Amino acid sequence: MRKPFLTFSAFVALSAALVAQSPEPPLAETRLTVSTLLREDVFAGFLQKDLARLSRAEKNIDLLLASRPGERASVIAWQGSATLTRAVFANEDKRADEFQKQYQRALDLFAEAKRLGPESIPVLAITGGSMVMLTDRLPAAERAARWEQAYDAYQQLWKLQSAAIEKLPLHHKGEVLSGLAQAMERTGRTTELGPQLARILTLLPDTPYAKRAQQWKDDPASRPQSSVACQTCHGPGTLASRLAEISKQSN
Give the residue among 9, 3, 12 at the shortest CA–CA distance from 236: 12
* Residue of higher predicted confidence among 247 and 229: 229
Report the pLDDT value the prediction gives residue 3, as an integer from 0 to 100.
Answer: 37
DSSP for 166-203, written as a single string: GGS-HHHHHHHHHHHHHHHHHTT-HHHHHHHHHHHHHH
The radius of gyration of the chain's CA atoms, rounded to the nearest angstrom, is 18
Assign 47 a pLDDT band (cuts: 50, 70, 90): confident
Q: What average pLDDT is seen over the chain? A: 88
Residue 10 has pLDDT above 50, yes or no: no
Report the pLDDT value the prediction gives residue 72, as an integer from 0 to 100.
Answer: 97
* Residue of higher predicted confidence among 48 and 233: 48
DSSP for 46-95, written as a single string: HHH--HHHHHHHHHHHHHHHHH-GGGHHHHHHHHHHHHHHHHHHHHHTT-
Q: Write the pLDDT tens digit of every residue in 66-84.
A: 999 999 999 999 999 999 9
Which one-letter DSSP state was computed for residue 234?
Answer: -
Report the pLDDT value the prediction gives residue 250, as an integer from 0 to 100.
Answer: 65
* Residue of higher predicted confidence among 104 and 11: 104
* Residue of higher predicted confidence among 140 and 6: 140
Q: Write the pLDDT tens digit of every residue in 103-159.
A: 999 999 999 999 999 999 999 999 999 999 999 999 999 999 999 999 999 999 999
* Residue of higher predicted confidence among 171 and 104: 104
Cβ-based neighbours of 137, under 8 Å, separated by 6 or more: 88, 91, 92
Residue 165 has pLDDT above 60, yes or no: yes
